[in-house]
Each structure stands twice: as C-alpha cells, then as structure tokens.
Amino acid sequence: MAFHKYLTFSFDDGLEQDKRLIRLMKKYGLKGTFNLNAGLFGKKDWVGRIGNIGFKEYNAPGNHGIIKTVEHFRIPKDEIRQVYEGFEVASHAYRHEALPGLKADRFDEVLGRDIDELSELVGYQVAGHAFPGGMSSKEARAYLKERGILYGRGAFSSGKFTFPEEPVNYSPTCSIKDKNVITLFDKFLASDTESEDLLFCVWGHGYEMDYGTARASEEAFEKIFDYVSGREDIIYCTNKEAFMHIHED
C-alpha cells in the first residue's frame, strides 16, 4: 500500500477576510476548510488583540488601552455558497457556543441546527466540525459522531503529522501565526511515509491577516502559502478529503 502526505488549511468564523484568503489560496493552488456559524451570518463586531493574540469581541472599533481591535465581520448568508465554492464548509456551532458544560438537551439546537442549515445552504452534507475555542466534551463528540460528522478539529497545536485515532477529537499541527510554521513544514517534507499517511493541518482566522505583525498579516500568510505550494509529493486537500481517504482505508 502506498502512503501519502496531505496538507490542508482550516479557518474559522466565516469572515469577510476569508475572501482575501481564498484569493491567495487559489493563487497558490491550495485547498482547505472554512468553519461557519449558521446563526451569526452578517454579524459585525471587532476582535481585541494584544500582539498576535486575539481574545475578546467588542461591539465597536478602536483601541482599549493596550488592546487593539480588528474587524470581525461575518459574511452574509446570501453570499456563502458563492464565496466558498470549491472549498469545504464545516460546522462551528450555531452561534459559536462553548461546548464544555453544554447540556445534552441543547445539542440539537447548537450542533444539529448548525449542521442542518449549513448543509442546506451549501448543497451538500457537512462532514466536519471545528470546536469553538478549541474545546469540546465527550458528550458533544459522541453527538457529532451520531450525526455522521467525520472529524472534529480543536485549536491547540500538536506539532505532529499523524492522523488521530479518534478523528472527531483532532488537534491541528499548528496555527498559521505560529512562529515555527516553516520549520514544521520542512520537518513534514523530510518525514517518510513508509508505514503511514501523514497530515499537516494549519488552522487560523481570517481576521488575523489584519494584525499587521511579522507573523500575522496578509504578507506573512502569503509567504507561507507560497512556501508550502507546488510540491509534487504533497496532496493539497480539504479537511474532509484527508479524513475521507483514511476512513476509506
């Protein structure tokens, strides 16, 4: 059996900045997944950040002491299908609700509704989920499995390239604004596939393009896209395509 190397990107929240990300990804022949909240289409707020860390939403722009803000404008519902055509759309909870501690009687409202409405909107069955805040629960993961969700992505960098034993509880390799993205990718290139398939998954948010820092800017993201693109020994894919392959094996 031949094994392969898979590379995918995963971006959260369904933001206006995704349009710029997609243009860049198409320029470099890259693929990926965008994780949306069906209950928040068109919502406009701002994310506060310190350095490269975004952590708080505000309802108005401007700086708050050492906290700077960037736009966090979500794409309207009537644009979703066109914007993400050719890429995968996955679930991210209906209104970005935190899953730890969420009672089971709300799973249909928070997870099931998001899956159903997104599936109807894009015209295919949503197969993946990204956990809001990167955190899940055993009960939420069990619900996602029952709903036929193929994989669930967290937000804590693993630095690893192995496919998880439990795909619905998956940690990505790194964030797109991690300082060691290029170093990890070089390690990924040097890794052999004699005994298993390998996966390099980079996650992030479109709004991080607007930080204007050395690691989080449109120029920094394009540098990464350029560096990882055009490799004949890598399969560029969506999250679903990567996990579907392993599932079929």
Q: What is the CATH number of the domain that holds 12?
A: 3.20.20.370
Mean pLDDT of the chain: 95
Overall average pLDDT of the 156-179 stretch: 96
Q: Looking at the domain assignment, is residue 54 inside a domain?
A: no
Q: Looking at the domain assignment, is residue 173 inside a domain?
A: yes
Q: Looking at the domain assignment, is residue 64 inside a domain?
A: no
Overall average pLDDT of the 218-230 stretch: 98
Which of 91-105, 116-130, 235-249 is the least confident region? 235-249
Confidence of residue 1 (pLDDT cuts 50, 70, 90): low
Overall average pLDDT of the 221-244 stretch: 97
Overall average pLDDT of the 109-121 stretch: 98
Q: Looking at the domain assignment, is residue 149 inside a domain?
A: yes
C-beta separation of 112 from 56 below 8 A: no
Which of 19-33, 55-69, 74-88, 227-241 is the least confident region? 55-69
Q: Looking at the domain assignment, is residue 242 inside a domain?
A: yes
Confidence of residue 157 (pLDDT cuts 50, 70, 90): very high
Q: Which residue has the higher pLDDT, 1 or 18?
A: 18
Q: Looking at the domain assignment, is residue 215 inside a domain?
A: yes
Overall average pLDDT of the 197-205 stretch: 97
Count structural domains, the chain.
1
Q: Looking at the domain assignment, is residue 70 inside a domain?
A: no
pLDDT at position 247, please?
A: 57
pLDDT at position 2, please?
A: 79
Helices 218-228 and 17-27: angle between axes, nearest 10 degrees: 30
Exposed, middle or buried, 129 (CB in 10 Å: 0-12/13-18/19+)? buried
pLDDT at position 61, please?
A: 86
Structural domain for 210, as ranges: 5-40+78-248
pLDDT tens column, 44-103: 999 999 999 998 778 888 777 789 999 999 999 999 999 999 999 999 999 999 999 999
Confidence of residue 245 (pLDDT cuts 50, 70, 90): confident
pLDDT at 233 exceeding the cut of 70: yes
Strands of the chain (E only): list them. 5-12, 32-36, 44-50, 53-58, 68-73, 88-91, 128-130, 151-153, 174-175, 198-205, 234-236
pLDDT at position 71, please?
A: 96
